[in-house]
Amino acid sequence: MADHGERNAVAAPFSSLAVRSSTEWVADHASHVSIDPAGIAKVVDSLHGDLPAVSWDFEGIHYFDGGPLTAQYLLVLDTLNFCFWPDGDLHYDHLAAGLKRALQRDNSIFDAKSLKSFTGIQLRELLEWPRPLPLEDERARLLAEVGTELERSFDGQAVNLILAASGSAVALVELVAMHFPGFRDHSVYKGHQVFLYKRAQIFVADLWGAFKGQGLGAFADIAAITMFADYIVPAVLRQWGILNYSPKLARIVDNLEELSSGTEEEIEIRACTIAAVEMLREKLRSKAGKERMHKLVLDQSDLRYSLQCRGSAYHPARPPVL
């Protein structure tokens, strides 16, 4: 499933309500993907109100020093966090750990000036990957875009971008989408605008998780962040019987054929993923209790990290980590 690049030349203000309502509309009108309430009920029942905790960096692959350099690292990481699957050996952990190693070798490697000059080949070498990365020239272009705008508007520092949001997750997503076109994640589906904002929201959630909701990761409205529609989570939701695909789409996915960005099938998978997780959250409210609902905010990042980094180890019979 394609998942990259700029979707819309004009930034729209981020609204979690718009994400939720537009993805719900897609789910209600989808032709290729459906959400099975029975599958959701089965998963909810299997949890018995227990929500196992998963730390942000449980795999030890991320850079963290507790300061501005971590913010710079996370912005670079989430700029590049797309499109791994065409290379069967490349995964998110290679990206996160490779960037961590590079930063440990040279703490100026992600300065705005450096970001502006990367080529696809240099990025490949930075990550110590033995062959061309998927869309490596596009990745380099996005890094240059981030470096240029950081230099122009934020004195070259991601920390200044974060501080400009004044502790608001929504404001930070808006700022990211406004200043960096590569983070704009909009599509048109059957004549309706659909808002996803995957990587812009991941950046906020990464800050929240890395800093444990304190300092640069303190966001009073973190609950506004929705699920991130990547390519691992829908695969696992399908395993658990929550998402169902039409026979035609199932053949395409099972044969590992690429779904072009912006197609009905691609939008339906991503939108129904968000809608399904929102339904899971609602069902879990009564079991988790009010005191646990703030933890459910983190199910978005916890679920992504658990499935993205260890998705191949999960079994359909196992409940999800929420």
In a domain, residue 184? The reply is yes
Domain that holds residue 147: 16-309
pLDDT in tens, 151-187: 999 999 999 999 999 999 999 999 999 999 999 888 8
Would you say residue 1 lies in a domain? no
CA separation for the pair 269, 64 (Å, rounded): 33
Please give the Cα distance from 209 to 159 (Å, whole number).
16
| Overall domain count for the chain | 1
Mean predicted confidence (pLDDT) in 221-247: 88
> Is 318 among the domain residues?
no
Give the mean model confidence (pLDDT) for residues 123-136. Answer: 94
In a domain, 83, yes or no: yes
> Does residue 262 fall inside a structural domain?
yes
Catalytic residues: 230
Per residue in 29-67, is it b (16+ CB within 10 Å) or e — as a string?
ebebbebbeebbeebbeebeeebeebebbebebbbeeee
Q: Is residue 2 part of a domain?
A: no
3-state secondary structure of 289: coil
Q: Is residue 111 a contact partner of residue 73, using CB atoms and an 8 Å limit?
A: no
What pLDDT is attached to residue 50? 54
The verdict on residue 6 lying in a domain is no
pLDDT above 50: residue 2 = no
Mean pLDDT, the chain, integer: 84
Angle between helices 92-105 and 299-310 in degrees, nearest 10: 100
Indicate whether 314 belongs to any domain.
Answer: no
